[in-house]
Amino acid sequence: MTMHKTIWQDTYNLTPFSALNKSLSTEITIVGGGMTGILTAYLLSERGVKVILIERDRLALSTTGHTTAKVTAQHGLIYHELIEHMGLENAQHYYQSQLDAITLIQKLIEENEIHCNFEEQQAILYTNDDKNKKKLLQEAEAYQKLKISGQLKDNIPFPIPVKQALVMNKQAQFHPLAFLEVIIKKLMRNGVEIYENTTAVDIDVQEQTIVRTAREYNIISEKVIVATQFPFYEGQAFYSTRMYPSRSYCLGFTSEDNYPGGMYLDIDQPKHSLRYVKHNEENIWLLGGESHKTGQYNKENHDPYSDLEKYAYKYLPVKEWKYQWSAQDFTTLDKVPYIGILNKKHPNIFVATGYRKWGMTNSAVAAQTLTDLVTNKDNPYQELYKPQRFHADPDLKKFVSNNTNVAKEFIKGKVMKKPTEQIERKQATKTKIDGQTVGLYKDNNNQIYAVDTTCTHLGCECNWNQVELSWDCPCHGSRFSFDGKVIEGPATKDLKQVDYK
Ligand SMILES: Cc1cc2nc3c(=O)[nH]c(=O)nc-3n(C[C@H](O)[C@H](O)[C@H](O)COP(=O)(O)OP(=O)(O)OC[C@H]3O[C@@H](n4cnc5c(N)ncnc54)[C@H](O)[C@@H]3O)c2cc1C
């Protein structure tokens, strides 16, 4: 199996951009070069706005490069809940904004003649659980109320036991990096300045906004768009307490059987997702799932990839394993993304986050909404996605339970797990050195890497992730390599190295 490589990266050929090497000024700075940052830069540059886009690593290779790339308004079970908690009109807005996003992506593909295997597919939810069957029936009623084109079905074309399925018609799938590579080239032609390997570490708000980067060069601009998935700069808007990160795992395999079409998602636990990709003359089946809160994989003696593999062998015609990867995304308190100004105190800083693993369409919603907002145009969805909204009922309960969970994680892990001499190769443990909790990782050559496992974002205690060999923060999803280097934010600083003999 090709380990830890996504199918999309196989054909990614974009020449790297250099790092920022001097201080600059512009109209709009965009921090974060995933689908959100890239599409927003594109729409702004099409309106003639001067944009600088900076990316910590390489463009489009973080979560965007690790997606399963279903382009759909069927975001699991959502519409019944939206109607209940936010009312019919807001639910209608949510659905319409997602349809607009699909139309925007399609338009960009057509206008720029992009070959990214964009093709229409049905999206299908299914369950084999009686309680969840009721929920699917409620969701089907919501589809009717919202005039969503879809239908109930009793089965799906795989030998997976199913009590109920719900189809949404005319959805799509594509190759996200093939799409974005062309858009990035268009950005360059539109005069957008792009810098990779450039980490933003802070924003100073003065008359203008100053984005400070790790190498001490600054970008001064009128407005800043924070498109870093989790906002690297929170400006006392407390996104840390209003979202939680969840990781999922994906496998790609070939099969002797023809894929029957459709993009599937079961709503039982653990969830599984299925689609196919036409890739180098082969059909690759993509199976995803085994989600868990980041830094909180608690199944002893299991690993999510093996569990996914078992599921595949049980129900699907696997021929050869080709790919495996994992990634994470954030869910907000009411499951609707936060898109808009950071908070009232910072009207020139904008944010787009909390896509709940539905960021192909939500990044397009964000790009359109933020482009309108920063150019002082009204957008039909700005109220729905406004980060300052507050819907008392569900928010309050989840706010409390989310925070309780985060509070536990501040304390958890300060406990020593195993004596250091027992660490095996390619494993890690925690210990106390002079009263400080230290994470120890032993590599294949018996070399020990010792780091302070206190997350450099807000001081939670990181937990070891044996599958990815990383230290993962259970509070806000920052991840660090075994030797402490930042892999994913919001943290911008590496874990502290500890002297260990
Ligand atoms: C396993 C999985 C499967 C998914 N499948 C689907 C799907 O089928 N359909 C769908 O719609 N959505 C799906 N999603 C969700 C979707 O992939 C994401 O929501 C989307 O890619 C997020 O895009 P983004 O640009 O907001 O974030 P990212 O792609 O994460 O981009 C943010 C960028 O900001 C950079 N950055 C971070 N901090 C800094 C900093 N301080 N300075 C500079 N740069 C910084 C990062 O390096 C990164 O490149 C899936 C998600 C997961 C985890």
Tens digit of each residue's pLDDT (9 = 90 or more) over 300-334: 667 889 999 999 999 999 999 999 999 999 999 99
Tens digit of each residue's pLDDT (9 = 90 or more) over 364-410: 999 999 999 999 999 999 999 999 997 544 544 554 455 445 545 54
**DSSP state, residue 358:** -
Q: What is the largest CA-CA distance in the chain?
A: 66
Q: Whose CA is closest to 252, among 302, 312, 298? A: 312
Question: Is residue 331 lining ligand 1, measured as CB closer than 6 Å?
Answer: no
Cα separation, 363 vs 167, in Å, equals 23
> Is 484:496 a contact under the CB 8 Å cutoff?
yes
Q: Separation of 451 CA from ligand 1 center, angstroms?
A: 27
Cα separation, 492 vs 489, in Å, equals 6
Ordered by start, the domain boundaries in the chain are: 8-67+177-241+335-399, 420-488
- Kindly report the protein residue whose alpha carbon is nearest to atom 20 of ligand 1: 359
Cα separation, 285 vs 323, in Å, equals 10
- Report the top-level CATH class of 420-488: mainly beta
> Is 240:234 a contact under the CB 8 Å cutoff?
yes
Q: Separation of 235 CA from ligand 1 center, angstroms?
A: 21
Tens digit of each residue's pLDDT (9 = 90 or more) over 217-270: 999 999 999 999 999 999 988 898 899 999 999 999 999 999 999 999 999 999
- Kindly report the protein residue whose alpha carbon is nearest to atom 3 of ligand 1: 67
Q: Whose CA is closest to 243, among 399, 136, 82, 99? A: 399
Cα separation, 102 vs 430, in Å, equals 46
> Is 77:221 a contact under the CB 8 Å cutoff?
no
Question: Is residue 74 lining ligand 1, measured as CB closer than 6 Å?
Answer: no
- Classify residue 390 by burial, with Cβ atoms within 10 Å: 0-12, 13-18, 19+: exposed
CATH of segment(s) 8-67+177-241+335-399 = 3.50.50.60
Cα separation, 498 vs 475, in Å, equals 23
Indicate the top mutation candidate among 20, 40, 62, 336 to test ligand 1's pocket, ranked by most ligand atoms within 8 A of CB.
62
Asked if the peptide bond before residue 419 counts as cis, ω within 30 degrees of 0, the response is: no
pLDDT, residue 146, reads 98
Q: What are phi and psi of 436, to 5 degrees?
A: -100, 140
Q: Which atom of ligand 1 is nearest to the CA of 36?
A: 25
pLDDT, residue 301, reads 66
> Is 36:60 a contact under the CB 8 Å cutoff?
no
Instruction: Please tell me if the domain spanning 8-67+177-241+335-399 has the same topology as the one spanning 420-488.
Output: no
The model's confidence at residue 199, banded by pLDDT at 50, 70 and 90, is very high
Question: Is residue 226 lining ligand 1, measured as CB closer than 6 Å?
Answer: no
